[in-house]
Amino acid sequence: MLGEVALDAIRDRVLVLRRMPQLSELEYDDLALMAEHAHLVHARAGTVLLDEGSTLERIFMLVEGEAEVSKNGVTSKITGPRLVGMLELAAGVEVAPRMVLTQKSLLLELPAEIVAAMLYESPAIARSIVRLTARNLMQTRSHLPVPLDTPEPVEGAWTDRPLTTV
C-alpha cells in the first residue's frame, strides 16, 4: 500500500494515476485534469462504496486492494488497478453496480459528472478508457476466440435513444 500518509496535493494524485497502467500513457495535462477532481480514499474491508440500483454519482479507481462488484445477481472479485462504474457511465446507464471492499484498499473517487465531461472533451482520456474497458472484457472472457460451433450472436434492435460513448 502507498502508506497512510495524506496525499492531498494534485501532484501526489497525478503520481497515483500515473501508477495505473491504463492511464500511464496520458499526457500530464490530462492526468492533472483528472487529479484536480479526484479524491484519495483509504477504506477498510467491508466498506460499501456503491449500492446496486443507486444513482451513479461517483466513479472509483481501485488503485490497491480488492473488492466485490455485483450487478444483476452476478458477483465478481476485482483487484487494483481497476475502474468501477466507468462502463455504465460511458454507456449512458446511470445506475451503479454494488461495490464492497473485501480488504483494506486505496481508491481514487471521481464525480461521475466530471468523468462524463472528460470522456467527451479529451480524446486521449476516452481512448484510454476504451482500451481499459476492452482489456477488462478480454480478461473476463479469457477463452477467446469463440469456438466455431458457437451459435451466431443475435442482432440487437436499434433504439431511439441518443447514442452514447459505447
DSSP assignment string, 92-113? T--BPPEEEESS-EEEEEEEHH
How far from the centroid of its chain's Cα atoms is residue 7's Cα? 21
Determine the Cα angle at 79 with ends 96 and 62, to 5°.
55
* 130-159 tens-digit pLDDT: 776 677 677 766 656 666 676 766 666 666
The cell for 31 is 492526468
Alpha-carbon span 161 to 166, nearest angstrom? 13
Tell me, what's the pLDDT at 9?
A: 79
Report the chain's C-alpha Rg in angstroms. 17
Tell me, what's the pLDDT at 166?
A: 57
* 46-78 tens-digit pLDDT: 889 888 888 889 888 888 899 998 888 888 898
* 2-33 tens-digit pLDDT: 444 445 678 888 888 887 776 777 778 888 88
The cell for 50 is 456503491
